[in-house]
Structure 1
Amino acid sequence: MELSCHCGNVKITVAHDPETLTSCNCSTCNRYGSLWGYYTPDEVQLSFITDIAGTSVPATKAYKWGEEYIEFHHCQNCGCLTHYITTEKVPETKLGINFRMAPIVGIKEIKIRHFDGADSWTFID
């Protein structure tokens, strides 16, 4: 499946659909409204347009917060949250792909699980 930000600057291709998507209510994800599908780096291909309408466009900007275990990446052009990657503080690299960047028809059959990242750190569905 191919996903992209609104302007198309960031394109993400995943090797397979995730079994489930995660809606997290932590202080960051709640504000983003993201739906996460989780992958290892070898299951994801990221590509970036380096020029939109003759203007050089940086690919993404990363945001880290708190303990800095995760870098959230946003398109520098349209601002969409596209993905996150764990930092070197986490022993195993994991990518969270924001499936809000996927075509709606592509995700309507994938079960959404609700994760309490704000309090209990457990699934609450």
Structure 2
Amino acid sequence: MIKGNCHCGAISFELDDQPEWLTQCNCSICRRLGTVWAHAPVDKVTLNADSGASIAYSWGDKELAFHSCKTCGSTTHWVSREPKEGAVMAVNTCLVEPAQLAKIRVRQFDGADSWRYLD
């Protein structure tokens, strides 16, 4: 299990599975946010936050909503704005204690151009 939280603690998450890898994407939003994502089925992630604790940001095709804490500004996760059965979401592992991630490989994803992993 992987556990993380925003800087102020208003939003926390738990990921039931250990991902095979983490994803560092170079698309315009991920690069600016400085995120490293762990992707998982929605039903494998537990978000703990009061209603209205996050603010959602969508752009472009508005398919994803990137959530950040309203108090401290930490980007915690993204979700599909129109989730389908088997939907995937991602949590920002930059908000996780490094020891929990030490054995998980980080893969570079070219979200800016080719839409492929670079390894």
TM-score range, shorter-chain basis? Answer: over 0.9
Q: How many residues align?
A: 118
Alpha-carbon shift at residue 6 of structure 1 (Å): 0.6
1:48-97 residue CA offsets vs partner (Å, 9 max, x unmatched): 157xxxxxxx4100000100111000001100000000121877522111
Conserved in 2, the CA contact under 8 Å of 1:69 and 1:90? no
Q: Structure 1: which 5+ residue stretches go unaligned? A: 51-57
Q: Distance in 2 between matches of 1:120 and 1:92?
A: 25
Alpha-carbon shift at residue 34 of structure 1 (Å): 0.5
TM-score of the aligned structures, taking structure 1 as reference length: 0.88
- 1:111 and 2:99 are equivalent in the alignment: no
Conserved in 2, the CA contact under 8 Å of 1:87 and 1:93? no
- 1:85 and 2:79 are equivalent in the alignment: yes
Within-5 A mapping of 1:1-125: 1-49=2-50, 58-88=52-82, 92-125=86-119
1:6-44 residue CA offsets vs partner (Å, 9 max, x unmatched): 110001011022110000000000111101111111101
TM-score of the aligned structures, taking structure 2 as reference length: 0.92
Percent identity of paired positions between Structure 1 and Structure 2: 36
Aligned residues: CA RMSD: 1.6
Q: 1:22 to 1:29 in 2, by over 3 A?
A: same
Amino acid at match of 1:3: G
Q: Please state whether the residue corresponding to 1:2 is helix, strand or coil.
A: strand
